[in-house]
Amino acid sequence: MARVSRYLANGFIPVTEPPARRLMPVAASINIVKGDYIEDNGSGYATNADTAFASTALGIAAADADNSSGAAGAIEVEYYPIDLKTQYIVPVAADALITQDAVGSIVDLQNNDDIDIADTGIASGPGFYIDEIDVCAAAIAANTYGYAIGHFIFVS
Query: Residues 82-100: pLDDT tens digits?
Result: 999 999 999 999 779 999 9
pLDDT at 2 over 70: no
Q: Which residues lie below 8 Å from residue 50, measured CB to CB, with a gap of 6+?
A: 37, 39, 109, 112
Which homologous superfamily is 18-81 in?
Head decoration protein D (2.40.300.10)
pTM: 0.94
Query: H helices of the chain, where?
Result: 137-142
Phi and psi at residue 79, to the nearest 5°: -145, 155
Query: What pLDDT, on the 0 to 100 scale, is given for residue 1?
Result: 44
pLDDT, tens only, 126-145: 999 999 999 999 999 999 99
Query: What pLDDT, on the 0 to 100 scale, is given for residue 30?
Result: 97
**Do residues 66 and 31 lie in contact, with contact meaning Cβ atoms separated by under 8 Å?**
yes
Phi and psi at residue 141, to the nearest 5°: -65, -35
pLDDT, tens only, 55-79: 999 999 999 999 999 999 999 999 9
Q: So where are the chain's domains?
A: 18-81, 84-155
